[in-house]
Structure formats: C-alpha cells, structure tokens
Structure 1
Amino acid sequence: MIIKYFIVAALTATILSSCSGDMSSNDTVSSTAANPKVDKSVSSADVTTNAIQVGKDYHSFANPESIKVTHLNLDLTVDFAKKVLVGTAELDFQKVDPNATQLILDTRDLTINSVTAMGKEVHFDLGNGDSFLGAALTIEVPAAADSVLISYQTSPKASGVQWLTPEQTAGKKHPFLFTQAQAIHARSFIPLQDSPQVRMTYDATIRTTKELLAVMSASNDPDTERDGVYAFSMPQPIPSYLIALAVGDLHFKSMGERTGVYSEQGILDAAAAEFADTESMLIATEKAFGPYSWDRYDLLILPPSFPFGGMENPRLSFITPTVIAGDKSLVSLIAHELAHSWSGNTVTNATWRDLWLNEGFTTYLTYRIMQMVYGDERFEMEAVLGRQDLQADIDALPAKDQIMAIDLRGRDPDDVFSNIPYEKGALFLRELEHKVGRENFDQFLLGYFETFAFKSITTDQFVSYLEQTLLKEHSDQLSKQRIEQWIYQPGIPEDAPVPESDAFSIVDQARDAWLAGSIQADEISSEKWVVHQWLYFLNNMPEKLSQEQLADLDKVFALTNSKNNEIAHSWLLISVNNWYQPAFTRLHDYLTSIGRNKLVKPLYKALSQTPEGKVMAKKAFDEAKAGYHPLTVKANEGFVQ
C-alpha cells in the first residue's frame, strides 16, 4: 500500500505506495548520505532463532496448518445509508489434518449472524477482540463438510472500509465506497484466514444501486451493464490483503489493449492522459521478467482521501489522484504497482516479517521499468532520491527496525512499512546485480518468479533458493555472510552501491550559490529542470532559512501555489519548519483536501512542535477528519491532541 515523512523524501517516495508504504513511521528530517557502520552486535542467529518460528504468522488467529481455506464466494449488499456491507461469505476449505474439527478465522468488528455447513447451522464462537488483531471466529466443522456459509455484516467503523458522502467526491452527486485490506484489514469486512500465506481464489456478487458501478480486484468487464448487480471472479489464488472493492459513479477509458482507467467522470481524461504509458510499461516488464499472469491491468483513481499512493490489487491497482501532475512526473508509482504483478501478487511474502520480499523486489523492478521506458537519466535521478530516503530512515529508526527480516511480534504489522523493506531491499538486489552482471541477474529473476509463482514464501526460503542458484553459480562474487548481513543486520553494509546522477550536480551548484548569496532566486537557471530536480533542490535545503530567502524563492517560483503535490508538500514542510506564514492558507487547504498519509502526516507532525502550530493542525484536522480514511485518522490524531 506505497511513504516518506521527512524532508529528503523526494519523488521516488511516490513509488512506496502501499502498498501501504505511506504508513511509514519515519518523520525525521535528514539529508546525510554516508554509509553507517553495521552494528556487529546483532547477528543473523540473534534475529532468526530467538523464539521466532520461521513461517509462523504472528498476526493471524487462523489455523491453516489444520484447515486451509481455498476459495471464497462473497455475496454482499452495499448499504450506504447504514455504512455497512451485509451478506454472506462461503468458504471452501481443505483439511490438512484429517482429524481437525475446528476452522479458525480472523475477524474485526464483524457481526456474525449465523454459520451453516451442509445446510445446517453449526456452533461457532467469536472471541474477545484484540487491539489490532481483532477477534478469532472458531467454527465447529462437521466431519464430512468441506465448506461453511457465514452470514454477517460489517461495522460502520470497519478499519478497512471508507464510506464517502457525495460531498466528499469529485462529482458531488453520489456516495463512494472503497476498501483497503493491507496489512490485516481484510478481516474487518470479510471473515477469513487473513494471512498472506493463505492463498485462495474468489468469486463475488456485489449488489448496489443502479446508478453506481462496482469494481473489484478481479475480472472487471469495462462494458458491463449498470444494473446494480455485479459479478466477479478471481481465478488465480491470492492472499486476503489483495481482495479489494470499490463502488461509486465510476467510468472507464481504455489506455491500451490490456490497460485502462476507472475514475469519476471529472478526472477520467486527465488520468488516462497522465498514465498513457501504462501499456508500454506492461510490455517492457513482460519482455524483461516474463509473462503477465493476470489478464488485464487497469487502474482505479480513488478520491483524494485514499491514504496511500497506490495499492497493488491484482488486475485493478488503486491509485491516489495526487500523482496526476499533468506531466507524467510521478508515474513511477504506476510502475511500482505494475511491478507488484510479479513480485508481491505472484510471489508473496508468507508473513509480514518477510515484507521486503514484496517491496524490495518491487522497488528494484520499478527502477528497471522506469529505465526501460524513460531512459537512464530519469532512472539515475530516482535512484539517488531513493537512496537519500533510505538514509533518512537509517538515521531515524532504532536498529531493530532497520532489519529487513524484522521482528514484528506483538506489534501492529503496519509498523513494518518504512524505507527498509522498500529501498534497502532494492539496494540489496542492486548489489547482487552489480556483482553477477545484469544479464545473469535477470535470468535469476526469471527463474525466481517461475519457481515461486502463486506461492507465499519466507525469507529463509529465499536465502535457500539463493544458495542453490546465484551463490552456487557465482561463489567468487557472492558470499552468504554478506547476504545475511544485508537481511538480518541493521544499517547499510559498507561499500553498498551509491547511485549517482549528473542531473543533480547543477542543482547543487545553484542551491549552494543561492544560499551563499552569490545569486538571487531569479538568477537560478531552472528553466529546464524536471520535477525530480526541483524536489532535490528543495529537499536538500538546510533546516533553517530566513524569511527573506523564503520570500525570494516563493516570489520567483510561486512554490506556495505549486500544482504538483510532491513539490507543494516539500515547500509546505519547509514553510512550517521556518514559520513562513504566506504559505499557511495553502497549507490549510492542502491538509483538508488530501488524505494521503505520506503527504499530510509530516505536516501535522511539524505543526505539532509548537503551540501555535498545534492550533493550526487541530483546526485543519477537525475540518478534514470526517473525510479522512480511518488509517489517516489513526496516524495523525496524536499530533492534534
């Protein structure tokens, strides 16, 4: 889901979408780029064997080792008036243990009306709720049963569902609903085994009013009739966090043979134009990393309250409208969500400890896709910005949270989303590529995606596969000790790759000259700068600037009124940290019109550092709260209390 909350966060932050990446816990301002020494006191053995059961999902009550769900059949009615989903979930299962008598599912704030098996009601028990795990639903399963039918409804406060009034949409005429299941929010709208190691196929029937269209992370027919009853099928087995639903006044526009975009009518043309290269990205990725396995690849542009940059729901990625910049400067996010079709959706992390297998591979592929479609210069700029983002997290996070195979026991799995699984994972893979050569590494990736297609794997399985392939074939270039250092120790190993970009040298020269007073803002030759260079210019400013300096920049470049949400974010953060009041009207409008955590959380945190700022933050939060996603509320309410 998808992320950066610090001032060096730059354009490549848009790729850390969600994938829930926008929920990163790092809010620190930093601009250093040195490689820290690795803490030798934390060993691979300390991390991997200290009471951690490899492959055990500590964030699920489910018992797939005894009974494993294989297929879900949903039939839900959307009730906008009551803000609930009402209906049934039929779960087909296999008894891994032939003697098993109980099926245990995950739920959160669900009302369970009844459970039947083989046409008869069966006993069930809904346990006490945990603060973030929810409650276990234990079902007594008859010996001959291979499915159960659960009648239930959701809560209006379901953590994975957002209900928007017509006034909170672009069209202002119809309500809107969308779900967000990653990491463990699927259990808030479906009773199921909410663990990434449980993959299942699904069918669904969604019932709503005739003027609205329902879409899901499944087969969507662009020409479907608007009749209020919509049928979906997902024939490939997926983990629960990839189940997604949206209902609204949606319209479709094709972008290519296999790609198109859904959105409200008012932004449809702009979205299709902005993301017109999606088909080219798909073709390039297939050529390099193997066939696309999901039939179509469409985009759904959500209202601006969507809390993440994007979410890689298969066949239909959910996308924030904040990346519609008019110049394709933020489309690395689309490349990232597309790349998940190989790494994440096809080969999935078995537990949230193993998230880096999803996001590290996907971030690496994102850079490669951007290079194939847009060329070396853009690839190099985005790689530099990503490396800076990673360094900022290394500087800010405790050592235990700098480890790719992180220990998340007893913690909300949303805590795993930082630059560590994304950028550190990608940098690790880039080092492997540099050491064995791109051609050899690409062959490794092809084999990896084929070997583990439609499977969920652990870090340990990946290391074992690496030993059997690259390590065995390139023992003169690679060592297991170095690989384990990357995965199981904090920090960035010494001599890790350091991306460079000539395009930033002229930006450094201009910034340094302006800061020294050698030139005024109107003497900066920025006419040919791209968005990446502007972000690099702003994000590497010193922490403190004078009011005169800020006014000089704003007068010449109109930064307060920037239409690019990433540039505006960087400028507004600088304005808060230096109390530049001419930007505060825009700041309030920004906070009350956007719900994407990566963009609003750093601003709320910065405002909360002073009494005057907290007053401003509370005013904006109180006005915007009703339209924020529950995850955005949770992430920011502490700053205004």
Structure 2
Amino acid sequence: MILARLLAAALVFGMAGQAVAAPRAVAPILARADAVDDQSYARPREARVTHVDLDLAVDFASKTVGGTAALDVQAAPGAKEIVLDALNLDIAKVTDGAGKPLAWALGATDPEKGAPLTVQLGGAKRVVVAYRSRPDARALQWLAPELTAGKRKPFLFSQGQAINNRSWIPTQDSPGIRQTWTARIVVPEDLMAVMSADKLTPKGEAAGAGKRAFRFRMDHPVPPYLIALGVGDIAFRALGPRTGVYTEPAMMDRAAYELADTEKMVTTAEQLYGPYRWGRYDVLVLPPAFPYGGMENATLTFLTPTFITGDRANVGLVAHELAHSWSGNLVTNATWKDIWLNEGFTSYVENRIMEALYGRDRAVMEADLTWDGMQASIRELGGPTAEGTKLYGSPDAQMDYFKGETFLRTIETIVGRERFDAYLRGYFDRHAFQPQTTAAFLEDIRAKLIRGDAALEAKLKLDEWAYQPGLPDNAVHLRSALLEAVDQKVAAFVAGTPAGQLGARDWTTQEWQRFLNNLPRKLTNAQLADLDSAFKLSASTNGYVRTAWLELAIANRYEPALPFLEAFLGSVGRGLFLRPLYQGLMRQGDWGRPLARRYFDASRAGYHPTVASSVERIVIGT
C-alpha cells in the first residue's frame, strides 16, 4: 500500500479528470489507496461533509421522514462539486446556506448502493437538501402498535450500518468520512424521540398542534452510520451516574434488572483501555423486530429484547456494544473491507470485560464458544482455503468477529497480556476519532509493539492472519473445563442416559449452546421428546437456547416443535436467530420449504427491511 504522507501537496483526480488539491482537514488515512470506499459515491479528497444539521418531521401516517439536511462542506481548492450518497430519497431542492438554489443531479441508481447526488457548489460551504424518505427506506422500520411491547402506540427505529442511512439522510455515507451533527426531530406529542447524541431537550418542546420537537447534538466526529433515531412510547430509568435505559414502559422492569451491571461495565472498560470519551452511556431496548443483537450507536446502544432472559446470562451483548465505544466508534474501519477492525477488536475487548467482571471461567467458556463458531463458519464457507475465511475483505460477517477475536487473543498470548494491553490503550489514544485500515493497523503494531523484533514478527504471522484464508497454526484456542464437562453429557445422552438425569437444569446459556450444537444432527423422535419434556426447550424464553433447539428439531423434522417454531419466527426479528432456522427449513426439501414460505409470508411484516430481504433470498431465492 502507498502511504500519502505528503498530504498537503497531494493531488487527487476527480471523475472528470481535473486535478484538485486534497482538503486540509481530511483524515490522513483517507489519502491512502487502501482507504477508498467502494460502497460510497463520495470523493472526500475533493470535497467532504464535516457536519450535518438535520431538521426533520416523523410522519407515521405516510411512513416517511422529511425536512432538511444542512451539510457543512470542506472543499479542496478547485473543487466544483460534492458527491453525496442517496438511496430512494425524494429530493425537492438543494440550496446554499443563504437559500440560493444550487444545481444538482441524481445519477443512475444501484439497488444496494443507491445513487450519487452531485451538487454544484459554486463556492458554497454549506449545502441544504430539502427531501423526504420513502415508506420503504432501508434504514427505517415502522412498527404498528401490535408489534410493540405496549401494544398501544407505533414505533420507529433506524439501523444505519452498513450503508443504510443514505435512505433517510443525504450525506457522504462512508465510515471513514466522520461528521459531527445536530438534529431537531418533530414527532407526535404523545411519543418520545431519542438519538445517539447529547439530548438537549429531554422532554421535548412545543412544535405546533399535536407535535413536539426534540433536539440533539453530537460534538465528536462519528462515522455516519452511527446517526440513529428511535421514536415511540419510551420511558427512561437511570442505572448509574452516567448510564441508563430507555425502553417501552411495559418492558422497563425486566430491562433494568438485566442491565444492572452496566455502570460497572463502563468503569471496567475504562480501567482496561482508557477513558470513556462519549459522556453518557445509555441503552435503548427496542421491540423484538430489531434485526441485530445490538448496535453500538454512540452514547445510545440499541439492543434487542431477546437478551433479556431474567438471569443476566446474556449481558455479554451489552459488554460487546459498550466495547465498540473504543473499537468502532473511537477508531473506525475506513472501509467495509476493514470491518474486522471493529468487530474482531470489540469481541476481544468484550471478553476482557467479561473476565474482569465475572471471572476467568466465564470468559474462557465464551472464548471456547467463539472457537466453535469460527470452526463452524469455516466449514460452512467451504473449508480453510475458502476466500470467505479471510479477515480483510471477507464477505462473511462471522469471520470478522470470530477470527478477529482469535487473532488478537493470539497476539496477547505471544507477547503477554500486560504488554498487549499497553499497546491497545496507546492504539486507541493515537487513532481516537479517526478511521483505520487493515494495512495501517499492521504498520502501527509493527512500529509500536514489534519494534523490529524479527523473531516476534515471525511468531505473530500478522500478514497471514490478515490476508490469507483459514487459520494460521499459531491460533490460540482457550478450552473451557465447564464446556468439556458438557461434552461428557452429550456423550452420555447419545449413549442412552435419560435427559432428566443429565443434571442440566442449572446450565447457563453457554452450556446449553454447547450441548445442543454438539448433539448429533440425527436423533430419534424419542430422544427429542425426552429432551423437550425434561427441559421445555421448544417454549424456552431464552432465544439463544430456543434457536439452537429449533435448529436440531428442524434437522430431524420433529413436528411437535413446529407450532413453537412458527410462534418464534413470528415474534422476533433478530437475523442471528431467523436465518439459520429458515436455512434449516429450506434444506429439508419438500417437507421444509413450504413451511419456510408460509412462516415468512406470515411474519415478514415484523422484520426489519434488511432482515426481510436476506430471509427472502433464503426462502425465495431473489
């Protein structure tokens, strides 16, 4: 990769062939060839967005968000236009900050990437776009009251990662183009708006008949996918001096109980990797349709309610999203090919937080499950030589998490925890509020940790980890004695021990996952009935356990589980749970395929657009 260290003198060529000097404040990393984002139309070295002011009204009747986005632009000398990302936005007009019309054009639309919105600057340093989203905006999910916990009022939430926010915000939607922002959001007066920023009007302010407005401000530059919105019947409860939970009143008690350790998690993370730099850390527990486990929106993590199981067994999800406050939000992947720099780092930090709070046994158990998941992903991707098993540029999200975490754990084991912790803390400090590429990370670790030690370089095998498929032979596998004991129970059950004699009633989520995932895929109906009778797995309120059980039931065409499968698919929207169940049904041919289509047709209205489209590809093949 070519380093562009002489940034001030660098020349960048526009699409029309003209040479323009790079803007002064562009992050140095963006001048690198490996930082060019092929998922965005933006040309940030010519003209880039530095700040966004949103003034939007939420209309539940039309399922649209409309108003203005005012963009502060930093253009290089000689740059005549700025290119934004837009996905199915209805643009009314574009002006400068004084209201003077600016010429603009939308290019050809790609169904995934959207269209380039090119604005002729005419010297303007501020561009104001008047627009409205469409009802099918990919980032937005509009929920009818019956799809919420309270069943009384509608709900709206956004999910921006990876390139969805361009469907409701016309900006340069690329993770490396960090932007500060403000927002004024007008909503029905009986609803609350929350966003991933400082809340300037916690109770809102009058905004006309039947409306109120909420104002927000984010002073730190963030990747635009972290601009997030939630609107609904939302209440708040403090969890600690700088932590709290937002959710529907009907869910508040259960959510607050599960999140009791959130303040401790923030303190623990700071002790490991330096100060939390975002002010407050709150969470928004969403309706079940939320498509992910969590989303690390700065200052306000969005969480699925499926982590709530009454025993705090799944709070590793909270630790993961908090860890993103360092890896992802503070230091961000410059392109989506580098996403492992977010997710692999975060999974490693999550495990360290869990160890510090809950002990070594818990952390090793979760790390061992990570190894299981990685091996399963490698098999599904076609084996250790498959391109999808690479870190850099892998199309498989699981490898970003599993292989990335294992890579960092391997470094820790080789160099020692104290030395690696010192490096990571310095890494987050050196690159705070900046994007990062895989190649630049490798340069950093070589300069700051390896320091020319050829023997250490050979032991670490950095390039093999980052760029080659499969696992290097130095990969560290932490083995859990607790899970090895579960493996013995698997063997005992297969050999004929009745389920009720396994001693499994007090198992954690992680132990149940190991047990169910390691059982043979072919069991008798009698064995399945024994398990279900002993532990009520079909009706489990633990989504992780229920999914693992239903995968096994589908593999064996165990029809007594089908009513519970149908109910589960219709009550959750988390892709992690849905995709393997639909895939399992489709693998069952004439038995499973009609079921998959029927369940999907009945449930898709409750799925986020991104999950609905991914499940549709599984079920329909489009």
**Aligned residue in 1 for 2:388:** 401
Q: From the superposition, tell whether residues 417 and 237 of structure 1 become closer, same or farther in structure 2 (CA, over 3 Å).
A: farther
The residue number in structure 1 matching 2:66 is 86
Give the Cα separation in 1 of the matches to 2:453 and 2:328.
26
* Alignment match, 2:263: 279
Structure 1 residue matching 2:61: 3-state secondary structure: coil
State the Cα deviation string for residues 153-179 of structure 1 (Å, max 9, x = none).
001011111111112111111111111
Q: How does 1:131-142 map to 2 (within 5 A)?
A: 131-142=111-122
Moved more, 391-400 or 277-286: 391-400
SS in 2 for 1:550: helix
**In the TM superposition, what are the counterparts of 1:239-388 in structure 2 within 5 Å?**
239-388=223-372
Q: 1:417 to 1:340 in 2, by over 3 A?
A: farther
Report the CA distance between 1:605 and its aligned residue: 1.2
Q: Is the 8 A contact 2:389 2:396 kept in 1?
A: no
Query: What corresponds to 1:24 in structure 2?
Result: none
Give deviations 1:269-320, integer Å, cap 9, x for gaps. Answer: 1001001111111000001110000000000011111111100000000000
Asked whether the 8 Å contact 1:88–1:151 carries over to 2, the reply is: yes
1:581 matched to 2:565? The reply is no
CA contact (8 A) 2:200 2:217 kept: no
> 2:16 corresponds to which residue?
none
Per-residue deviation at 1:119? 2.3
Structure 1 runs not aligned, ≥5 long: 1-51, 408-415
Counterpart contact for 2:294–2:321, Cα < 8 Å: yes
Structure 1 residue 555, shift from structure 2 partner = 1.3
Within 5 A, what are the aligned runs for 1:39-78? 53-78=33-58
Q: Give, in whole Å, the separation in 2 of the partners of 1:478 and 1:514.
A: 46
Query: Does the CA-based 8 Å contact 2:204-2:215 persist in structure 1?
Result: no
Mapping for residues 390-539 of structure 1, pairs under 5 Å: 390-398=374-382, 399-406=386-393, 416-472=395-451, 475-479=454-458, 482-517=461-496, 519-539=497-517
The range that moved more, 345-354 or 616-625, is 616-625
Equivalents in 2 of 1:429, 1:248: separation in Å? 40
Match of 1:541 among 513, 519, 534: 519
Please report how far the alpha carbon of residue 68 of structure 1 lies from its aligned counterpart in structure 2 after TM superposition. 1.1
**In 1, Cα distance between the equivalents of 2:545 and 2:146?**
27
Distance of aligned partners of 1:174 and 1:527 in 2 relative to their CA distance in 1, 3 Å threshold:
closer
SS at match of 2:129: strand
Give, as a single letter, the amino acid of the residue that structure 1 aligns with 2:359: G
* 149-158 vs 524-533, which moves further: 524-533
Amino acid in structure 2 at the alignment position of 1:103? I
Post-superposition shift, 1:572?
0.8
Corresponding position of 1:105? 84
The alpha-carbon deviation at position 225 of structure 1 amounts to 4.3
In 2, the alpha carbon distance for the partners of 1:77 and 1:250 equals: 18
**Residue type matched to 1:406 in 2?**
G
Partner of 2:15: none
Residue 192 of structure 1, aligned match among 164, 171, 179: 171
8 A contact 1:210–1:226 mirrored in 2: no
Separation in structure 2 between the aligned mates of residue 499 and residue 633 of structure 1, nearest angstrom: 36
Q: Do the aligned residues in 1 keep the contact of 2:201 with 2:214 (CA within 8 Å)? A: no
TM-score (norm 2): 0.91
Deviates more, 1:297-306 or 1:395-404: 395-404
* Equivalence map 1:203-222=2 (5 Å): 203-220=182-199
Pair 475,486 (structure 1): closer, same or farther in 2 beyond 3 Å: same
Aligned-partner SS, 2:504: coil
Equivalent residues of 1:471, 1:479 under 8 A apart: no
Contact 1:607–1:613, Cα closer than 8 Å, also in 2: yes
Q: 1:344-372 CA deviation, whole Å, 9 max, x = no partner? A: 00000000011111111101001000001
| Aligned-partner Cα distance in 1 for 2:178–2:302 | 20
Give the C-alpha shift of residue 506 in structure 1: 1.9
Q: In 2, Cα distance between the equivalents of 1:480 and 1:132?
A: 41
Count residues with an aligned counterpart.
579
For residue 529 of structure 1, report the CA deviation from its aligned partner: 2.3
The sequence identity of aligned pairs, in percent, is: 45
Larger deviation, residues 332-341 vs 495-504: 495-504
Distance 1:245 1:172 in 2: 20
The one-letter code of the counterpart of 1:404 is: L
Distance 1:501 1:480, change over 3 A: closer
- Is it true that 1:552 corresponds to 2:536 in the alignment? no
SS in 1 for 2:65: strand
2:545 alignment counterpart: 567
2:119 is matched by which residue type in structure 1? I
8 Å Cα contact 1:393-1:418 kept in structure 2: no
TM-score normalised by length of structure 1: 0.88
Q: Distance in 2 between matches of 1:474 and 1:221?
A: 51
In structure 1, distance between residues paired with 2:618 and 2:441: 40
Question: SS state of the match for residue 575, structure 1?
Answer: helix
Q: Deviations over 1:411-460 (max 9, x none)?
A: xxxxx352211111111111111111111000001110000000001111
Instruction: Name the counterpart of 1:16.
Output: none
Return the alpha-carbon distance in structure 2 between the equivalents of residues 168 and 60 of structure 1.
Answer: 33
Question: Structure 1 residue 480: deviation in Å?
Answer: 8.3
Q: Which runs of 5+ in 2 are unaligned?
A: 1-31, 207-211
Kindly state the Cα deviation for residue 481 of structure 1 after the two structures are TM-superposed: 7.4
Maintained 8 Å contact 1:608/1:640: yes
Q: Deviations over 1:165-224 (max 9, x none)?
A: 112111111111111110001100010001111001000000011100000110136952
Q: Distance in 2 between matches of 1:405 and 1:535?
A: 29
8 Å Cα contact 1:383/1:499 also seen in 2:
yes
Query: Which amino acid is 1:557 matched to?
Result: F
Give me the whole-angstrom Cα distance separating, in 1, the residues matched to 2:444 and 2:522: 49
**Contact 1:471–1:480 (CA<8 Å) still a contact in 2?**
no
CA deviation vs aligned residue, 1:469-497 (integer Å, no higher than 9, x gap): 11117544333871000000000111310
SS at match of 1:78: strand
Report the AA paired with residue 76 of structure 1.
L
